[in-house]
Amino acid sequence: MTTTRSGGAVFSSRTAWWIILGAVTLVSTLGFACATPFAALAALACVGAAVFVSRRLRAPQSFLALTATFAASFAVYEGLLYAVSGQSYAADFSWPIVRYILVLNALAFAVLLVMQKIASATGMIAPRAENLIAPSAR
């Protein structure tokens, strides 16, 4: 079953989705200061790592694949921050701080996954193209 919607409805849904994501980012920024969940929001510096890992996995929508993709993104993000920050900020990369940011990002990632599933189920965003292929055609 396919659902067709006018261009205006699709635009409004996509606009609403981006407003929701922006609001989540703003609220998390205000609430957590420098520990904003950038890795959970797939910061542009990390998309390449996430795509690289995802393309090499057999079931890209599985829990393991999502976890591996998140881990790669987080590792690259933290590595880039460390590389750019230099030795004067090395204390900011102690295990307790990195662990706190990792947990925060993992929780935000989980919330965003749930939000994405809800938005997809309600038609606010379109399902991924690869999910539209019939199982017999794969």
With 0.75 as the threshold, say if the pTM is over it.
no
Q: Please report whether residue 32 resides in a domain.
A: yes
Q: Please report whether residue 84 resides in a domain.
A: yes
**Contact (Cβ atoms closer than 8 angstroms) between residue 105 and residue 40:** yes
pLDDT band at 4, cuts 50/70/90?
A: very low
Residue that wins the pLDDT comparison between 133 and 61: 61
Where in the sequence is the domain holding 56, given as residue range(s)?
7-124
Residues 6 or more apart whose CB falls under 8 angstroms from that of 32 comprise 104
For residue 43, the model assigns a pLDDT of: 58
Q: Please report whether residue 129 resides in a domain.
A: no
Tens-place pLDDT, residues 10-39: 557 767 877 887 777 777 766 666 555 554
Q: Please report whether residue 132 resides in a domain.
A: no
For residue 136, the model assigns a pLDDT of: 47
Task: Quote the number of domains for the chain.
Answer: 1
Q: Please report whether residue 136 resides in a domain.
A: no
The structure tokens listed for 57 are 């996995």
pLDDT band at 44, cuts 50/70/90?
A: low
**Contact (Cβ atoms closer than 8 angstroms) between residue 4 and residue 70:** no
Q: Compute the Cα dihedral for 67, 36, 88, 45 and give only its sign.
A: positive
